[in-house]
Structure 1
Amino acid sequence: MWIESLQPLPQPYRWAEFLAFHGRDASQRSELLLAQQQRLYKALIWDGRPALLVLDWDAQQVRVRLQGTGRGGEERLQAMLKRMLGLAYPPAALERSQAGHAELGPLLAAQAGLHVPAAPTPFEALSWAIMGQQISVAVAVSLRRKLIEAAGVPLEPATQKLLPEAADLLAYPDARRVAALDLETLRALSFSQAKAQTLLAVARLAAAKTLPLDEWAWQSARGLWDEAAVAEAERQLLAIKGIGPWTVNYCLLRGYGWPDGSLHGDVAVRRAMGLLMQKEKPDAAKPDALQARLWLEQFKPWRALVAAHLWASLADQSY
């Protein structure tokens, strides 16, 4: 059974960030990005079983199909799609509010339509954030690929036959499947002791529903998340050994689309911030974490969206 939905796109909508995020692994183990055909295949776990998500798009809309069933399937699929496209908390208010800002305004204008893509599930976002702590993107991508190959689930034969181009994809493992791994297995996959311990702790808590990652997504999709609810999510995540503010705020952005986590500790954010400030003051130095935090404070409640613009500026020389 296939569930389908159609999502109109705001105008303008930049695809660069979506393509970069879902195409970050050239080996494409759980996703297959066909940029020229404007299609993405994503293998994931849906209601405990491997399923295939198919996105097709043009300039105006995105059509999504998911092989799966389950209670509230259409509503859950629509919420997932909005998160993946960065539509859960639209960024237009940031662009309007800060258009006249001396440093940020020109960047917002040059990158109009930037939306922050998210992972299909909060667990995938959080596990990716854990893998990405204090290492390069290339190394984190390698760890992610090894985890998928160790714990991912093949698509069902009927799906493989129907869509042979996606037949080799493995569904990104859910919390239950990662929790079934042991420390030695993750260490053999090149995870550090600390990363392995943190990933297993998160997976076991999420699998037991003690860490309600999916419930938070449901609340967010229904407009029930506010600063108090996010603060509670932050508290629970920070209580897990090995998770710090950067991991939390990155997960909130990539897993839920939450626009206001402060990513002042991110090295790339600070580097881009320094380059941006040098446009106004050529002798300005790259800010440290404290200076970055204070600079980002002026953009509440959109600090994470500002960080996404700073990330994009390092790859975009059009401004």
Structure 2
Amino acid sequence: MAGPTFTFELAPGYRLHDVLAFHRRDTEAVAEQVSETRLRKGVMLGGVPVLLDVAFEGLAVDRYGSASLPGRATCTVHADGKMSAATRRRLEVQAHDAALNILGLRIDPAPFCAFAADDPLLGALVRAQPGLLIVQSATVFEALTWAVIGQQINLSFAIALRRTLIELAGRRHSSGLWCYPGPGDVAVLELDALLARKFSRAKAETLLRLAQLVHSGALDLEPSPTNSIEQISAALLAIKGIGPWTVNYGLLRGYGHADCSLHGDVAIRAALQALLGEDAKPAMARTEQLLARYAPHRTMAAAHLWASLHPPVSDE
């Protein structure tokens, strides 16, 4: 069923290349299909298989992958199956939020650029990439499960495990694209099914524990006046197998939370080592102190540090 269409205006400087690269990580393209002008993302929203079909229009992209002229992204929502009017309205809100996430439109980079433009440590990075975006997962649950999957393993193996989870627990949209599973889909998986597909026992048990808590309602991931981000973070930290790095990464990729401290991230520490010109990565405690100066913009600080490890390359 073709549902609503959302249009997002994209300003000059929008880093289309970064957005497409994030969703192109899985070269087998089981749940995301990416071209230079289109992004198709499959995801379960409220138990419904949904295809988010995004067309990029009017953008003139420079050699660094940033838009030199304004354009727009038009997202058409295709949901499978019949549903009530109330379900359709909820799905419309969820799909709009998911589209904002996957397009990297949740956090405005401008406040951090102004905040850190003259900073002695990060100022040069910020001035070189002023439009850097935080591209997110479509849902908070996807972000958290991706964080659990990626704990202490290399990126290529993490992407392979993510693909496995999608194939084991996800559902195919009528378009043929797999949908990233929701908590109810993961909660019913058997532990042995994950272990047989190269998941460690600790990682598999944490994924199932997280999914079962969310699916049962024991863990509420929806922020509200009575359920703050701080309360959600504390509830996540109480789950066996989930530590501060997983929570902060989940907040970043899931909520677009502006002040995540990624001091436990190895790549962040490597980037700081290079900037400081030191022989070893700074310890986590020192990294936390270094990042503290960028509060309440530590998420963008992390994004610029990650990007410094992979500087843009022009065609010239």
Establish whether TM, by shorter chain, passes 0.5. Answer: yes
Aligned to 1:241: 240
Q: Which amino acid in 2 is paired with 1:177?
A: D
- Tell me by how many angstroms 1:86 deviates: 2.6
Aligned to 2:195: 187
Query: Which one of 63, 78, 92 corresponds to residue 67 of structure 1?
Result: 78
1:16 to 2:17 alignment: yes
- Tell me by how many angstroms 1:146 deviates: 0.9
- Tell me by how many angstroms 1:50 deviates: 1.4
Moved more, 55-64 or 176-185: 55-64
Q: For the residues of structure 2 that align with 1:82 and 1:120, how far apart are their CA atoms? A: 8
Q: For the residues of structure 2 that align with 1:100 and 1:111, how far apart are their CA atoms? A: 14
SS of residue paired to 2:89: coil
1:143 to 2:161 alignment: yes
Query: Which one of 192, 196, 218 corresponds to residue 204 of structure 2?
Result: 196
Change (3 A) 1:318 1:109: farther
- Tell me by how many angstroms 1:295 deviates: 0.3
SS of residue paired to 1:3: strand
- Tell me by how many angstroms 1:76 deviates: 3.1
1:123 to 2:154 alignment: no
- Tell me by how many angstroms 1:187 deviates: 0.5
Change (3 A) 1:252 1:67: same
Q: Which amino acid in 2 is paired with 1:275?
A: A
Q: For the residues of structure 2 that align with 1:64 and 1:112, how far apart are their CA atoms? A: 25
Structure 2: segments with no counterpart, 5+ residues = 60-70
Q: For the residues of structure 1 that align with 2:186 and 2:287, how far apart are their CA atoms? A: 35
Q: Which amino acid in 1 is paired with 2:261?
A: S
The normalised TM-score by structure 2 is 0.88
- Tell me by how many angstroms 1:142 deviates: 0.8
1:177 to 2:157 alignment: no
Moved more, 115-124 or 11-20: 11-20
Q: Which amino acid in 2 is paired with 1:268?
A: A
1:56-135 mapped onto 2 (5 Å cutoff):
56-58=55-57, 59=59, 60-68=71-79, 70-135=88-153
SS of residue paired to 2:111: helix
Identity fraction in percent: 40
The normalised TM-score by structure 1 is 0.87
Contact residue 44 and residue 182 of structure 2 kept, 8 A: yes
Q: Which amino acid in 1 is paired with 2:110?
A: A
Contact residue 109 and residue 130 of structure 2 kept, 8 A: no
Structure 1: segments with no counterpart, 5+ residues = 161-166
Contact residue 277 and residue 284 of structure 1 kept, 8 A: no
Query: Which one of 296, 300, 306 corresponds to residue 305 of structure 1?
Result: 300
- Tell me by how many angstroms 1:15 deviates: 2.3
Q: Which amino acid in 2 is paired with 1:253?
A: L
- Report which of the two has the higher share of helix: 1
